[in-house]
């Protein structure tokens, strides 16, 4: 059971959008994903409640209500058929909570918006994750990938974001375009992969690098993060 956590302390970066679309995408591909909602706002589970019972199943866990820490208790609560666990987290996390999330996750996705404020705040956030996750050390190093969200290509701020991510030498997995289709899909309890409209093809293609990267993480041995990159980040 592979645990994928979507983290960014900054509100509104796309954690819930990425979590719900990833869950829906796996379900549409015949997997049985679980969606854990650690955000007291409960947006991810609200989305799941609106999902038609005809759609491929996603197991939902209202994790924020259970007064449980991020422990292996989540595994015990899972149906055994669940093969991917996607964890949506609240904004403003840090400290012990963040350490718990990072400790339990196999794969960490950090969505970031191409805005100067978000680029600035994500730097210290990623630094905190790298320290907590001890990504420098050995075969248990966890992988962290950055996904740019709500991108408008060829804007100056997107170019700044690309340069920033290249400078960190952390995996920049993909860029997801800003599109109303994400909002349409959300209100229907589906993901963009499940929208029946050829115009979403260019959007779903942007997810393929993320799906491939997660699969690599599952099938290939974990890689040791680049020391040069970490030294730069931790400066």
SS3 110: strand
Query: At 174, phi and psi to the nearest 5?
Result: -165, 170
Beta carbons within 8 Å of 75's beta carbon, 6+ residues apart? 1
Please report how close the Cβ of residue 20 comes to ligand ATP at its closest, in angstroms. Answer: 8
Spatial separation of the C-alpha atoms in residues 176 and 21, rounded to whole Å: 12
Q: Of the candidates 64, 84, 150, 193, which one interacts with ligand ATP according to CB under 6 A?
A: 150
Q: Does 118 bind ligand ATP (CB under 6 A)?
A: no
Q: Of the candidates 10, 15, 64, 143, which one interacts with Mg ion according to CB under 5 A?
A: 15
Report the side by side order of strands in the sheet with 172-177.
59-61, 33-37, 84-88, 2-6, 107-112, 143-151, 172-177
183 binds, among Mg ion, ligand ATP, none (CB under 5 to 8 A by kind): ligand ATP
**Residue numbers 133-152 binding Mg ion by CB under 5 A:** none
Query: At 153, phi and psi to the nearest 5?
Result: -60, 155
179 binds, among ligand ATP, Mg ion, none (CB under 5 to 8 A by kind): ligand ATP
Q: Which residues bind Mg ion (CB under 5 A)?
A: 15-16, 43
Q: Which residues bind ligand ATP (CB under 6 A)?
A: 11-17, 39, 43, 91, 149-150, 176, 178-179, 182-183, 186
């Amino acid at each position: 059971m592979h645990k994928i956590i979507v983290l960014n302390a900054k509100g509104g970066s796309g954690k819930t959008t990425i979590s719900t679309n990833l869950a829906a995408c796996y379900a549409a591909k015949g997997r049985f994903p679980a969606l854990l909602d650690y955000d007291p706002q409960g947006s991810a589970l609200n989305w799941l409640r609106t999902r038609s019972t005809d759609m491929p199943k996603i197991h939902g866990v209202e994790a924020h209500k259970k007064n449980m820490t991020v422990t292996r208790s989540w595994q015990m609560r899972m149906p055994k058929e669940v093969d991917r666990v996607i964890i949506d987290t609240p904004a403003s996390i840090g400290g012990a909570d963040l350490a718990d999330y990072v400790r339990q996750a196999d794969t960490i996705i950090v969505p970031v918006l191409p805005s100067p404020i978000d680029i600035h705040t994500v730097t210290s956030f990623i630094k905190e994750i790298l320290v907590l996750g001890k990504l420098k050390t050995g075969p248990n190093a966890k992988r962290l990938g950055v996904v740019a969200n709500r991108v408008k290509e060829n804007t100056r701020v997107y170019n700044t974001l690309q340069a920033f991510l290249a400078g960190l030498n952390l995996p920049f997995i993909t860029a997801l375009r800003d599109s109303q289709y994400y909002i349409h899909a959300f209100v229907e309890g589906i993901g963009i992969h499940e929208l029946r409209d050829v115009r979403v093809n260019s959007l779903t293609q942007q997810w393929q690098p993320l799906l491939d990267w997660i699969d690599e993480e599952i099938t290939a041995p974990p890689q040791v993060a680049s020391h040069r990159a970490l030294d730069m980040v931790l400066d």
